[in-house]
Structure 1
Amino acid sequence: MPNYRVDFAKQILGLPFTIGTVEIQSARDPDRARRAAELKFARQYGLGDWRERADCAVVAAMDDDRR
């Protein structure tokens, strides 16, 4: 199964500023990776929902040599 990196960003004056990154290993597809990363990000910051801290989440597949 592929590995994914999910970047969480806050939009300020229309520009995205990355505030956190979560790596998910062995997700079946990008949607599952995003959901797992959202939960992990919220737990990491003690939030009920990841949107309390970030405005968007961008999923990118990771190559094995990038880890």
Structure 2
Amino acid sequence: MSQYRVLFAKQILGVPFTVGTVEIARARDPDRAVRAAALRFARHHGVEDWRERADVAELDAGAARAS
């Protein structure tokens, strides 16, 4: 299992601005980490879908670590 950091960004005129990050301590693979982070981000902001607050969700390339 690995640790991941997922960045959520809002794009304004094509430029991404980070609006939040979520740390996932354990996930089997990067796809599951993004899905878990999206759920946590939505709950934290009190919305049904994370896309109400952000346009992009992507893994922080330097943050994935194997444990």
Alignment TM-score, normalising by the size of structure 1: 0.89
List structure 1 runs of 4+ shifted beyond 3 angstroms.
Answer: none
Partner of 1:15: 15
C-alpha root-mean-square deviation of aligned residues, in Å?
1.2
In 1, Cα distance between the equivalents of 2:36 and 2:20?
14
Task: After superposition, give the CA deviation of every residue in 1:9-65 in whole Å (9 maximum; x if it has no partner).
Answer: 00001100000000001100000000000000000000000000000001134337x
Please state whether the residue corresponding to 1:33 is helix, strand or coil: helix
More helix by share: 1
Q: Percent identity?
A: 67
More strand by share: 2
Alignment TM-score, normalising by the size of structure 2: 0.89
Question: Structure 1, unaligned stretches of length 5 or more?
Answer: none
Count of paired positions: 64
In 2, Cα distance between the equivalents of 1:19 and 1:25?
20
